[in-house]
Amino acid sequence: MDLYFEVEGITHKKEKRLKVIFDFDKEKNIFLKSIPGARWSSTLKAWHVPDTIETRQLFRLKPPEEDIWSAEKLLQMEQFSKWLKSKRYSENTIKTYTDALKVFIHFFKHKQIAEISNEDLITFNNEYILRKQYSASYQNQVVNAIKLFFKTSEQKILDPALVHRPRREHTLPNVLSKEEVKLILEAHHNIKHKIMLSLLYACGLRCGELLALKPEHVDSKRQVLIIKQSKGKKDRIVPLSLKIIDILREYYQLYKPTTYLFEGQTKGAPYSDRSLQLILKQALEKAGINKPVTLHWLRHSYATHLLESGTNLRYIQEILGHKSSKTTEIYTHVSTYNIQNIKSPFDTL
């Protein structure tokens, strides 16, 4: 093929696709449209086609990573994934670990897994993670995946005990003021959008916890919300204010959810986290807030505001579902309640 295209492998709507970029040309346009499964994306502002061996051959690209791996490597990866599932790891953790491990093993694609050594791990850390300036948290994910994989694998040339974790970064959680939270929560007139963001803040929920809620998890008589099998496979209850119960009733009468409290366009299917992120982005634009706010900021803000109002740290730990009190104690470092009462010696000069 003599036509020039810029092609990039992507994941679009949970599918492996090839994003195709080119200067408009009638011949190129006709060629691209002739590829089965070719679609235009207004979000990507580009054409994309299925990521298959056949389409890659059309663009003279190497086969997908999965196709250049040996059958043995694929089998071991599959066995590792099954082991994680048998141990009841969450779907998110399984995906995170297998993706991280896939990157590590593919880095040594010319070696069999049994040949990978501790020296290789050091090379991978320097030549891949540090060179590409990936975060310490990503490095930690790779370490966790490698340690688990080689612990469960029969080929133990790589000693998991010698796999060092990166030094922990001591960062503070991002917190919004009550005024900023109010602007965000009042930005949407759509009651569904409004109640979703409101619940994240009013109950200190994680994004996944909100999207997993079902109508029966709302106990309006006891004024509590039941969070089932959250992080760490734990159930917990969080208090519901009368104000938020009233909004929930109004929402329920209007939308009448069936399986999940917040459903997507398909009845009975959960709302997507991508759509929820878009709701927040729109709220920030309407509120005129230019900070890089994420959904998790609302949870951080809830915990900090509770602490500043005098709520005992032990109760906050239970409400947030933290396993360790040390995780909750970080909010004492961002609370301004006591700091604002400290008089600067500058004022007495």
**What are the residue numbers of the active site?**
206, 231, 296, 299, 322, 331
CA distance 197 to 283: 9
CA distance 3 to 27: 8
The pairing of strands 15-21 and 39-41 is unpaired
Neighbours of 35 (CB within 10 A): 18
Tokens found for residue 228: 């089932």
Give the torsion sign (CA, 82, 233, 323, 300): positive
Please report which helix (H) or strand (E) contains residue 330, including its range: none
Please report, as a single letter, which amino acid is at residue 186. Answer: E
- The vertex-48 CA angle with 43 and 54, nearest 5°, equals 165
Torsion of Cα atoms, 141 then 145 then 151 then 157, to 10°? -100
Yes or no: say if 18 and 53 are a contact pair by the CB < 8 Å rule. no
Q: CA 47: distance to chain centroid?
A: 26
The DSSP annotation for 175-207 comes to ---HHHHHHHHTS--SHHHHHHHHHHHHTT--H
Neighbours of 135 (CB within 10 A): 11
Please report which helix (H) or strand (E) contains residue 265, including its range: none
